[in-house]
Structure 1
Amino acid sequence: MALPRQPHRVPVGDTDGFEPTPSRPVRVRARHLPIDTHFVPHRHLWAQLAYCASGMLQVVAARGLDASDEVTYIVPPSRAVWIAPGVRHAALALEAADFRTLYLHPDVSPPGWSTCRMIVVSDLLRELIPALDQAGGQPAREQALTLLVLDEIARADTQPLGVPMPHPETGDKRLRTLCEAVLHEPGDRATLAEWAGSVGASERTLARLFRAELGLSYPQWRQQAVLAHALPLLARGLPVGEVARRCGYASDSAFSAMFRTALGQSPTHFGPRARSTAD
């Protein structure tokens, strides 16, 4: 049961020169992010789709425009996070990543998408993003690709995953310390009573804080953290047994049962072999 080390974080500017306009409603910015690259908390008037062609990203975003609490998303290449216009957010490269940021004018946001969500990146969307990035100076091609990108985003399956976190300023610091420690070591199966001594709060107080600030019990919250950790590992092709071990499970069957209960599918469904077979 170890508290997380603080990574070296490098602030990086985000949107200069890439603002979407009514005539160019979707802009793509591609860049390579070294591990631990950090985008400081910020917000903007347009929507954003955060996606990595390779590597892994952590996105922390407010639940909505006026929300004080946050949700943490772990984003592998098979997923992307939709960040609604005006929502405060930050990002951290957990691995070296080929980052693709899509900035979208508010007028082209899918109806009802006023809060953040994780979406499944289809094979077509994966190919459209670099094509749109390379279409600069070709207005007709850029317009056609933009329409296809918007259609794929609107049709994308949503992934009911995301780990709520205490607000960095108004949330309880003991609760945030515990949550960050679990996110860094999801294989540590310490109980709430065992965490109490490490963070300086009683088990009863921590249980109350989970309900009051995050709307979940500790076991429910920890399961979301484990799923967020496991999905990128499965997407990279690690065996189910190895992923189960890293998530603190003594048996593959118990890990698979948790997956089926939470997501309705076995862990193997989220591996690269299952995706290639489906194609």
Structure 2
Amino acid sequence: MLETLSALSRLPRPLYGSEHSLPNQAIGQPHCHPWAQLSHALRGTLRVETERGHFLAPPGQAAWVPAGMRHAVYCSPGTVIRSLYVVPEVLPTFGKKSCVLRIDALLRELIQAFSLLPEHYDVTGADGRLAAVLIDRLAEAEEAGIILPWPEDPRLQALCRHLQAHPDDRTGLEALAEHFSGVTGRTLSRWFLAQTGLNFRQWRKRCRVMAALPLLERGERVTDAALACGYDSPSAFIAAFHEQLGAPPGAFI
């Protein structure tokens, strides 16, 4: 699948993405291409990883990756993806940054309708006008969602990968700092702040909330999600979730 994607030197149309075409597959291998990509989950949760950060997009949101940026796309079981590939000049609104966009009801319907068009749709007819409306709506989409900034230091990256794979790990800051980097907890937190904009405690909290979203999305209880992500009580988890996303778990899902 990735080989097929890489074989494209240019898109068939300035806005491209059919229901049955290759963009609607999650490609976990890091790759890049000369066009921008919007990955939207009609059902399930998407995680897009770049060298600068990890982006989580549950239903109602979509991850935007600019042209030329290396990324990998992962999804929870049962996820239904609709991806759009965009020639950079067609939608320059978001520039060269990756982000998460809010997908309102109209934009969701436009994406679904566009995915039913043939790959070589008529850009001068009704299909082309639908594509133009979709591009206009995307340009107005608000940024949303939760982004986990990724550090550059290999020692911090190893720690981050561990915490992402084991959100229930309750090992303290000092022990983690000594094990992964041989420095004090204070130094480690200072490194995190310099490289991610978050101190260690803030980064870990955001990582845990991101780990909980796929669990909640597939119907697990708030209590079970809280315990699986390292929280002693549902109330502490709900408070952290509300702090990160502006709503309690039930309202968000």
Q: In terms of mean alpha carbon deviation, does 176-185 or 221-230 score higher?
A: 221-230
Work out the number of aligned pairs and report it.
246
Question: Do the aligned partners of residues 12 and 221 (structure 1) sit closer, same or farther apart at CA in structure 2, a change above 3 Å counting?
Answer: farther
- Structure 2 distance, partners of 1:129, 1:266, is 28
- Structure 1, unpaired ranges of 5+: 1-9, 63-69, 272-279
Equivalent pair of 1:187/1:246 in contact (CA under 8 Å): yes
Following superposition, the deviation at residue 179 of structure 1 comes to 0.2
Are residues 1:186 and 2:167 paired?
yes
Equivalent pair of 2:212/2:225 in contact (CA under 8 Å): yes
Q: SS of 2:146's equivalent? A: coil
- Structure 2, unpaired ranges of 5+: none
Query: In the alignment, what sits opposite 1:41?
Result: 31
Deviating above 6 A after TM superposition, structure 1's stretches of 4 or more consecutive aligned residues are none
Q: Deviations over 1:147-167 (max 9, x none)?
A: 23223322333225111112x
Are residues 1:90 and 2:72 paired?
yes
Equivalent pair of 2:36/2:85 in contact (CA under 8 Å): yes
Query: In the alignment, what sits opposite 1:165?
Result: 150
Query: In the alignment, what sits opposite 1:106?
Result: 88
- Structure 2 distance, partners of 1:60, 1:12, is 19
Are residues 1:207 and 2:197 paired?
no
Percent identity of equivalent pairs: 32
Question: Do the aligned partners of residues 133 and 18 (structure 1) sit closer, same or farther apart at CA in structure 2, a change above 3 Å counting?
Answer: farther
1:65-144 → structure 2 map (5 Å cutoff): 70-93=52-75, 95=77, 97-136=79-118, 138-139=121-122, 140-144=125-129
Question: Do the aligned partners of residues 25 and 221 (structure 1) sit closer, same or farther apart at CA in structure 2, a change above 3 Å counting?
Answer: same
Question: Do the aligned partners of residues 184 and 12 (structure 1) sit closer, same or farther apart at CA in structure 2, a change above 3 Å counting?
Answer: farther
Q: Deviations over 1:54-95 (max 9, x none)?
A: 444331224xxxxxxx10113334321111233332334454
Query: In the alignment, what sits opposite 1:263?
Result: 245
Q: Report the TM-score when normalising by structure 1.
A: 0.76
Equivalent pair of 1:75/1:232 in contact (CA under 8 Å): no
Following superposition, the deviation at residue 248 of structure 1 comes to 1.6
Q: SS of 1:111's equivalent? A: coil
Pick aligned residue for 1:52 from 37, 41, 53: 41
Equivalent pair of 1:210/1:216 in contact (CA under 8 Å): yes
Q: Deviations over 1:194-237 (max 9, x none)?
A: 21343242234422321232222101111221222223333333
Question: Do the aligned partners of residues 121 and 195 (structure 1) sit closer, same or farther apart at CA in structure 2, a change above 3 Å counting?
Answer: same
Specify which structure has the higher proportion of strand: 1
Q: In terms of mean alpha carbon deviation, does 218-227 or 241-250 score higher?
A: 241-250
Question: Do the aligned partners of residues 18 and 152 (structure 1) sit closer, same or farther apart at CA in structure 2, a change above 3 Å counting?
Answer: farther
Pick aligned residue for 1:153 from 138, 146, 157: 138
Equivalent pair of 2:56/2:63 in contact (CA under 8 Å): no
